[in-house]
Amino acid sequence: EQIIQQRLDFDLYTYFSALSAAARAAMENGLTGMEFASGIPGSVGGGVKMNAGAYDGEMRNIVESVQVMYKDGSILDLDNETMEFGYRNSVIKNRPYVVLQVSMRLQEGDREAILARMNELTARRKEKQPLEYASAGSTFKRPAGHFAGKLIQDAGLRGFTVGGAQVSEKHCGFVINRDHATSADILSLCRQVQDQVKAQYGVDLELEVKLLGEF
């Protein structure tokens, strides 16, 4: 059976939209492949930079090319291989690039089946993730051979708080804004979690979220 594929392009103006909006646009056009991204926080460009992924899907599986601007104003077109996608990583993380356009290759599918899959993933997220609180999503990268949330839970840090920041009681891999937390509260909590996990299990937890500004 021949598989028909179509490109879905997001330019500078739609790049600021959430990945979830891009996934919904794909669904509305009967294109499958982006269902995994339907509940990931962040923009299309950010998702490409971080190689965002969930539920066995990643951006590297669907990105065909990325157009970027270098700091000197030059425009470059990077194909999938040149992007050097890795776990929550891409070449963009280490270069002074600004994403201008992303082209993704998706397959034609049944709109209702695509929507059903997106709804299924949404229900799974609501069941397992603290979506009722503000957060930046999964806070720590998955360390090799371990799960960050389980390490944090086993270290006795479920519900641990610093100011208004808290390790989620629903999923210990999330740091949530429980009650008017400041950025300093959140970072302090993250550092203490890292210290405790390192002390108890000898595992270095690396932040998955990115820090902007001075702390």
138 labelled catalytic = yes
| Catalytic-role residue among 84, 108, 169, 208 | 208
Question: In the structure encoding, which two tokens stand for residue 122, read together?
Answer: 């949404």
| Catalytic-role residue among 103, 135, 138, 168 | 138
| Catalytic-role residue among 88, 105, 125, 158 | 88
Sign of CA pseudo-dihedral 99, 18, 171, 124: negative
Give CA–CA dist 73/18, Å, rounded: 25
208 labelled catalytic = yes
Residues belonging to the active site: 88, 138, 208
